[in-house]
Amino acid sequence: QQQVKQSPQSLIVQKGGISIINCAYENTAFDYFPWYQQFPGKGPALLIAIRPDVSEKKEGRFTISFNKSAKQFSLHIMDSQPGDSATYFCAAGYNFNKFYFGSGTKLNVKP
């Protein structure tokens, strides 16, 4: 079964808007939750990551919100730009032995 569920599958946002992508997990042993950004023709690259001991992590326009009790975490992109158009993957892992990835969200930011 899918260890990490991601939604929506695709997202269209106007320039300057807020993009929100959600993920949910089941395994409470997960202790590391990264988000990856992938541009066409490239491999995924780490965008931002969080550990379950904090509820929010912000880096520039990107924020992870983490709800341990609900086993959910989300990525917020503030002031979305056309250059943010990419596919975003959430992931979850423990001990860095294995990572489980969500199904991906294709974000299109319209100018």
Partner 1 sequence: DVKVTQSSRYLVKRTGEKVFLECVQDMDHENMFWYRQDPGLGLRLIYFSYDVKMKEKGDIPEGYSVSREKKERFSLILESASTNQTSMYLCASYPGGGGTGSRETQYFGPGTRLLVL
Name the site residues for partner 1 (rule: CB under 8 A).
4, 6, 9, 32, 34, 41-46, 49-51, 57, 89, 91, 95-99, 101-104
Phi/psi of residue 75, nearest 5 degrees: -110, 130
In angstroms, rounded to a whole number, what is the distance separating the alpha carbons of residues 29 and 53? 13
In angstroms, rounded to a whole number, what is the distance separating the alpha carbons of residues 102 and 19? 17
Which among 10, 3, 38, 19 is positioned nearest to 79, based on CA atoms?
19
Least separation in angstroms between residue 52's CB and partner 1 is 11
